[in-house]
Amino acid sequence: MSSNPPLTFRHPDRYRIACALARADDGAAFGPLGRALDLGNNELAHHLRLLQRAGLIERDHPPGRMRPTILTLTSSGRAALAQHGAVLARLAAEADMAP
């Protein structure tokens, strides 16, 4: 088996969040993102906090009390997502070649 770089998104929900944000050209608001992924507020907030600490997402707090926080994937997040996907694809290909 070949050596692969470590997977960035160690929890499947973090990978799902990154994938959802990659598809959202203008970012995603907290509430709709949680509903789309079927994640509760506390669970989503926990994963977002870890992704933000890692520099993979950004939170934009527009001025005004009623404006939702917009979440976007950073360029580092997009690169990590691409690398993670490549590792998963390589692992799947290796599994298909196994006897």
pLDDT at 39: 97
CB distance 58 to 50 below 8 Å: no
Average pLDDT over residues 25-35: 94
Choice between 10 and 3, residue whose per-residue pLDDT is larger:
10
Supply the mean pLDDT for the chain: 88
* Model confidence pLDDT, tens digit, residues 61-84: 878 767 788 999 999 999 999 999
pLDDT > 90 fraction of the chain, expressed in percent and rounded? 64
Which of 2.40.50.140, 1.20.1050.10, 1.10.1740.10, 1.10.10.10 is the CATH number of 12-97? 1.10.10.10
**Contact 22/72 with Cβ under 8 angstroms?**
no
Where along the chain do its domains lie?
12-97
Using DSSP, state whether 61 is helix, strand or coil.
coil
Mention every residue, 6+ apart, whose C-beta is less than 8 A from residue 41: 30, 34
Angstrom distance (rounded) from CA 40 to CA 35:
8
Amino acid 27: pLDDT: 93
